[in-house]
Structure 1
Amino acid sequence: MIQNSSQFNLSTENIILTISVTVQQLKMVIIQMLVAIFLCVNCFMLFTFFKKEVFRTTTRYILFAHTLLNDSVLLLLTDLVALQVYLNILIPVEFCILLCMIMEVLSRTTRFVITAMCLERYVAICLPLRHADISTLRRTLAGILFIWALSSLYVIIDLFIFSATAPPSYYAEETFCRYEILLLTEWHTYMRAILSNLDFVVIGIILVFCYIKITIAARAASGDNKKSSSKAQKTLLLHTMQLLLCLIEMLCPFVEIVVLEIDFQIFVSVRYFHFIAFTLASRCLNPLVYGLRDEFFFATLKYFACFRLKKTVSPHFVYT
């Protein structure tokens, strides 16, 4: 009787373990499918961007293409880290540092470029007579370089602090790749949190300012101008949602650290949820904002999607 009971318990445990493994495998398959779809869509949009000169010389489309490329690389690297966690592969800290730094720079760059997009919409709607002078190709490229320099500055500061506080033996320790491995002291963690929160406060102020100004312009406008202003309002709301998801994504690692100390399987599930709900979701909004809502870009997209069987896309388009 006791032997039968033991065999039953053992069989039950094996079934539960098998189900758990199957669920984890299914989750990873879903992630890989979503990542593959996202990358294919982004690559096709980038292909469309490079096929039209008007896209390559217009500020809003340049920023859009930059974000597509930036998000694609970041998503690819994040997916590699997700695979590392799923396969339970620990890597020495010294090999994780560069990967974590690149991911952090890309993440910060996304937030700053989204803010630049909002400012571009503000200039286009509220300062239409100065838009052509302000949104030049040269200034756009200079702005992108400044964003990259600013994003890199945060990471360089963290690297200097890490180099000064990390013992030589720490570099050989094996871990999962995440940016928090660079934050060895409590004050450094607080400093990073304060700087990140300060970023979001400044970005939030800029978004509110742009939204109020565009709302005022929309109420005073009429006809096509009113339609453009209304679309610009919706664009800013979508950008706000993107930034909120980015903020939550930034806070996720702190939750994951606590969960990892409790149970590894729960940690994997939490990371899976964070990846789908925040990392993927925030980056899927950008193609929606400009790739599908923009009439001219969407028409060009359909033209190439139909293997150029449609009529030539008109070069005249309206900013939305």
Structure 2
Amino acid sequence: MESANATRQCAHHAGPNGTAASYVHVRVCASAVAFVVLAFFNILITGTVLRDQRLRGQARFALLVHLLLAALLYFAVCWLFNLLIYLDVRTPGATCTLLITAMITSASNILLTLTAMALDRYWAICLPLRYDSTCTRRWPWLTGLLTWALSSIIPLSLFLWPGGERSGAGCGRERLQRGAVHKVLLISACSAIILYSYVRILVEGRRLGVLSRRNRTGRRTIAWHGVQLAAYILPSFVLAALRVAARRCYIGEGTRELLAAVLFAFFSLAQCIAPVVYGLRKEELLERLRRGNLAKAVLERTVRLAAPRYPHSRERRLTSQTLVSLELPQSPV
């Protein structure tokens, strides 16, 4: 009741009825572009990983496949969902519930997979002997299945909760705002785990002397991962803050929708460069791409924007990226 009263009190701050809906086309275009780009990377990277037995058995590439699949599903469903809103199509309740469930599940799986990737690097760097003796070739794929199972808890809890599903609620973006507490708790918990893992990796890297001031490659890899993770996580907190500000009449509803659309476009861009940050910057993956392929030439030009441009031997580049990129060599002891 309080939120409804606050919404009525802030009604004069919102523009006309079409103000909020006028930015749906931004979401449609952004999700369509992200879907096309991620589909290209999915075909190339997933096919390369699945064909190569060595890559298929490494956790970072197996989890990358799960990450790309979740992102592809998210933007495919997101494009369809926003397109139906833009065309003002009356969607049946069951279809709307299915779309929202797929969106929330895939978005949650993206965050859980990133958390699993951070924990994998932490375990491999800080506990190498235990990592080599415990982790098998199947566990990253089983971990991916586990993240899909866990990511389905939020939409199920929303729809099974008493009063969570209303027949006359329609199929709009307001239904995506349900379960805000669940989402904030999930994002906060995963962010804390990721931050702790990377801090421990940095401490261990400095102790081993790998992340020194002269090692620009290692520091640049850490920086790329940090920027990528920030682009994943920060928009959710900003959206929550904008929602609170609009509810308390600090900003108008039209302003909130505009900023939300800009954040969504920024989030979509972050998803598009994720295959480069987590996959294509690895020489091990690039070397296994088919030679002479037009796609490979395009990818090499893309990777040059993120790869180091100063001369180093291949051995040194591989060593400097070990902390967050490569599997540790088997210990002789």
- TM-score (normalised: structure 2): 0.67
Indicate the SS of the match to 2:148. Answer: helix
Paired letter, 2:226: L
Q: Could you tell me how far 1:47 is from its partner in structure 2?
A: 1.7
Q: What amino acid maps onto 2:262 in structure 1?
A: F
Query: CA shift at 1:242, angstroms?
Result: 4.0
The within-5 A match list for 1:136-147 is 136-147=136-147
Q: Which residue of 2 aligns with 1:218?
A: 205
Matched, 1:243 2:232: yes
- Give the CA deviation at 1:267: 8.8
How do 1:79-98 residues align onto structure 2 when only pairs under 5 Å count?
79-98=79-98
1:180 corresponds, among 157, 160, 176, to 176
Residues 217 and 229 in structure 1, CA contact (< 8 A), matched pair in contact too: no
User: Any idea what the Cα deviations from partners look like across 1:295-314, whole Å, max 9, x if unmatched?
Assistant: 111222363735899xxxxx
Query: How many pairs were matched up?
Result: 276
Aligned residue number for residue 269 of structure 2: 281
Equivalent residue, structure 2, for 1:74:
74
Higher-Rg member (1/2): 1
**Following the alignment from structure 1 to structure 2, what is the Cα–Cα distance between the partners of residues 25 and 193?**
24
In structure 2, the partner of 1:200 is 187
Alpha-carbon distance in structure 1 between the residues aligned to 2:101 and 2:141 = 23
* Percent of pairs with identical residues: 21
Cα distance in 2, alignment partners of residues 253 and 245 from structure 1:
12
Give the aligned partner of residue 105 of structure 2: 105
Tell me the distance in 2 between the aligned counterparts of 1:143 and 1:24: 35
- Greater percentage in helix: 1
Change (3 A) 1:254 1:173: same
Check if 1:291 corresponds to 2:279.
Answer: yes
1:117–1:179 distance in 2 versus 1, CA, 3 Å: farther
SS of 1:106's partner is: helix
Cα RMSD, aligned residues only:
3.9
How far, CA to CA, are the matches of 2:206 and 2:164 in structure 1? 57
Higher mean C-alpha deviation, range 244-253 or range 129-138? 244-253
The one of the two structures with greater contact order (alpha-carbon pairs below 8 A, sep at least 6) is 2
Q: CA deviation at 1:76?
A: 0.7
Question: Which residue number corresponds to residue 125 of structure 2?
Answer: 125
Map of 2:153 onto structure 1: 153
Asked if structure 2 preserves the Cα contact closer than 8 Å seen for 1:94 and 1:171, the reply is no
User: Paired residue for 1:233, among 214, 219, 222?
Assistant: 222
Unaligned runs of 5+ in 1: 1-22, 184-191, 310-315
TM-superposition CA deviations, 1:226-269 (whole Å, max 9, x none):
889656634641453243246258649958x98xx967xx8986
Letter in 2 for 1:165: G
Q: Which residue of 2 aligns with 1:53?
A: 53
Change (3 A) 1:308 1:277: closer
Aligned partners of 2:126, 2:172: CA distance in 1, in Å? Answer: 47
3-state SS, counterpart of residue 137 of structure 1? coil
Distance 1:242 1:76, change over 3 A: same
Tell me the alpha carbon deviations over residues 20-61 of structure 1, each in whole angstroms, 9 at most, x when there is no partner: xxx998996676445323322222221222221112111111
The SS at the match of 1:175 is coil
Query: What aligned pairs does 1:29-48 form with structure 2 within 5 A after superposition?
Result: 32-48=32-48
SS at match of 1:303: coil
Cα separation, 1, equivalents of 2:170 and 2:239: 23
- 2:329 corresponds in structure 1 to none
Unaligned runs of 5+ residues in structure 2 are: 1-22, 298-314, 326-333
Offset of 1:97 from its aligned partner? Answer: 0.6
